[in-house]
A and B are shown apart, each in its own frame.
Chain A
Amino acid sequence: MSFDGFMHRHIPVSDFSDFLENIIYKSPKGVYASCSYYNHPAKNMAEKEWKGSDLAFDIDADALNLKCKNQHDHWICKNCGKVGKGPRPNSCIKCKDNKINVLTWSCSNCLGATKNEAIKLFDILVQDFGISQKNISTFFSGNKGYHLVVENSVYEKLDRRERREIVDYVSCKEISLQYLGFNKKFSYSQLIQHMPSSNQPGWPGRMAHFFTDYEIDSSADSLNDSEKIAKLYSSKSKFNKIFKQSVVSLRSNIDPSVTPDTSRIFRLPTSLHNKSGFAKIKCEDILSFEPSTQPVVLGSEPLKINITFCPVFTLKGITYGPFKKSTETLPTFASVYLLLNKLATIA
């Protein structure tokens, strides 16, 4: 992607030095690579001849609709410069103009939440889909989320519709109580016989685990797992709420439009994200991965910038801001972060 915002696609490279030469010569704003395999990758889409695609997933903090968004997301009126917290209004509350920029920010809560979604997804891929751990690469996206890419698997040939089923499975979309064994017409003893068990694989096992861990009351202490789940189900209105909670808690909240796309391009690993200046890097151990430190690869040399506005942010363990209409000298990585978010200009 060039600095005018347009994508330049289908660029063939013969080897790594050719690739580097292209990068240096073109100085792109962002670099992407396809997760698909083609017989003729340099030709246009119609002539490429698709051979298969990695099974790829995108997890982004913006899609999680976390409560912290209301605290750190802002809108900025292009006309009068008015800044407001939370979702974008239809028009500026000060000058009534409707040309408004939206600033989606991230915090440690957002980054923790996306990491949690990535961990859940990893588990589903390994346990349910039988994908070998060595074939799954987990990347920090370089901004507010993670990319999980499955290579060399039997799923490479899946078409869009089939991948959509995978998305719905991972997202627990339209999961039906009926196929977990619940039935309104069952008597209590029938229910006990049909309850999912935490020994089962897949969703029945995960759901059963969630339900048996759920605290009901002391009278449930003497019940076995099936009896406990049946008792929970019998408390109708309460159960519906618990079921919804289980779905939200157990599913992996992936971007549903990314995985089915069999000609998707993803930011190139190790390249810099054009909205943050952080690198997209592979997480060898996601549990110990530090998203506000490890991907920050630019230098710490001081860089003076004029900041229009910016909320608090933490990089490499140091908290910056908030700033409003001020000139600051920050480490290059922090200044670049604000410059790319269009919140500052070089002084």
Chain B
Amino acid sequence: MKLVDVGKEDYAKYPFLPETGDFVQKLNFTINDLLDSDYNILENAKNRIIYGFKHGTSPTSISNVEVDILSFPLALLLIKSTNNSYAISKFALAESKRIENFLLNERQSVIPKLFEIILKIQPIEIKDDSVGKWDYKIPLTGYLPRSLHLRGINWRLVNRLVDQGFVYVKHKEIVELLRSEIYEMIIAKLDEIKIPPSLFENKSISKIIKEIQNSTPRPPLDNRNIVFTGEYPPCISKAIEMVKNGDQVKHYGKFLMTTFLLRAGKNVDDVIKMYPTSLGFSESITRYQVEHIAGLKGSGTKYSVPSCKTMQTNDFCFKTKACGNITNPLQFRNKTNTVKKNTRQKH
């Protein structure tokens, strides 16, 4: 699909458009041309990345359209060359935020087509306000995979107007829904790019990559390598207590308890012992189920610990203040839990 009514400035704003690709191809630039350009495209690409690190969005002012268009593929090359996953995700996020800013102020004639290109679905414009003040409706199957990436209860389907398989959204919201899509498109472009080995032979390139590496913000602490030596998250403690007391525990509660304990360092026998036969648990059935969850039986799939959201859905969340904003019980930590590797993410 091609867009009508788009000009060069739109190519600079939306580097994912097929027209932008055609335009860059027609310019017939090689990497060396880009590096030797009088317009300092290399410097522009570097600044684009570092600006994004600092401000959370790549620059939205376009002083020279051609330079801007060409600096995008070069920025992709540079950021990929850092081989730093955190820097890459920060860059992709800053670029998607930049596009989001453009879309928010975009002219009405272009917007539905842009959405169609990016979302692969056609939003239907709402022309009256009989069901409220909405700008578009999009198919539920198009809404769900995108809204799940977004935080905030306003994105939950239950808090949306849903009718006949469509979800109603406002202009600002559809742009926000698009963000993760753009982010993923940029990540996909980065995955596609092959770094020519000769790139590092160029001294000015190596210097700039180093500069970018030095400007990359520090990633947050990795919370995956935890060993629970002390208190368990409240949902796990509750499940253990209920099992111990012989209370009826829902299937999901037992599934949570088992997956968690297996991931938190207990072995299969330890976990089986936590389901006392004196309370009616059959050891053979418990063993079969625990071994199945541990991946020792059946297809060999090791089951993951269900997320906090899953446990909320299944009415087995006993959140306390200590949980904070965790999204999975494995992230729970308090003073009694030790972090095995108090290190930052490796790259």
- Please name the residue on chain A nearest to B166 by beta carbon: A130
Question: Which residues in chain B, 137-187, are within 8 Å of chain A measured between CB atoms?
Answer: 139-141, 144-145, 147-148, 153-154, 156-166
Q: List 10 A-B contacts (CB under 8 A).
A: A5-B285, A44-B298, A46-B299, A46-B301, A100-B280, A127-B164, A128-B162, A129-B165, A130-B163, A162-B148
Q: Which residues of B contact A (CB under 8 A)?
A: 130-132, 139-141, 144-145, 147-148, 153-154, 156-166, 245-248, 250-252, 278-280, 285, 288, 298-301, 309-310, 312-315
User: Is there an interface contact between A44 and B299, defined as CB atoms closer than 8 Å?
Assistant: yes
How far, in whole Å, are A241 and B158 apart by their CA atoms in the complex? Answer: 20
For chain A, the bracket of interface size reads 35 or more
User: Is there an interface contact between B156 and A174, defined as CB atoms closer than 8 Å?
Assistant: yes
**Residues on B with beta carbons closer than 8 Å to the beta carbon of A88:** 246, 248
Q: Which residues of A contact B (CB under 8 A)?
A: 5-6, 9, 44-46, 78, 87-88, 90-91, 98-102, 127-131, 154-155, 157-159, 161-162, 164-169, 172-176, 178-179, 199-204, 256-257, 260
Q: Residue A203 contacts which of B147, B158, B247 (CB distance < 8 angstroms)?
A: B158
How far, in whole Å, are A5 and B289 apart by their CA atoms in the complex? Answer: 13
- Please name the residue on chain A nearest to B154 by beta carbon: A179
Describe A's contact surface by its main secondary structure.
loop
User: Is there an interface contact between B161 and A201, defined as CB atoms closer than 8 Å?
Assistant: yes
How far, in whole Å, are A129 and B139 apart by their CA atoms in the complex? Answer: 9
User: Is there an interface contact between B158 and A154, defined as CB atoms closer than 8 Å?
Assistant: no
Nearest Cβ on chain B to A202's Cβ, whole angstroms: 5
User: Is there an interface contact between B299 and A162, defined as CB atoms closer than 8 Å?
Assistant: no
Q: Residue A204 contacts which of B161, B247, B252, B312 (CB distance < 8 angstroms)?
A: B161
**Residues on B with beta carbons closer than 8 Å to the beta carbon of A203:** 158, 162
- Please name the residue on chain A nearest to B285 by beta carbon: A5
Nearest Cβ on chain B to A281's Cβ, whole angstroms: 26
Q: Taking each of A131, A157, A158, A164, which has the highest tally of chain B beta carbons within 10 Å of its own beta carbon?
A: A164
User: Is there an interface contact between A168 and B158, defined as CB atoms closer than 8 Å?
Assistant: yes
User: Is there an interface contact between B165 and A130, defined as CB atoms closer than 8 Å?
Assistant: yes
Nearest Cβ on chain B to A145's Cβ, whole angstroms: 16
How far, in whole Å, are A151 and B247 apart by their CA atoms in the complex? Answer: 38
User: Is there an interface contact between A202 and B163, defined as CB atoms closer than 8 Å?
Assistant: yes
Q: Which 6 A-B pairs have the closest CB atoms?
A: A130-B165, A201-B163, A45-B299, A130-B164, A179-B159, A162-B144
User: Is there an interface contact between B165 and A257, defined as CB atoms closer than 8 Å?
Assistant: no
How far, in whole Å, are A190 and B159 apart by their CA atoms in the complex? Answer: 20
How far, in whole Å, are A87 and B246 apart by their CA atoms in the complex? Answer: 12
Nearest Cβ on chain A to B242's Cβ, whole angstroms: 11
How far, in whole Å, are A329 and B92 apart by their CA atoms in the complex? Answer: 75
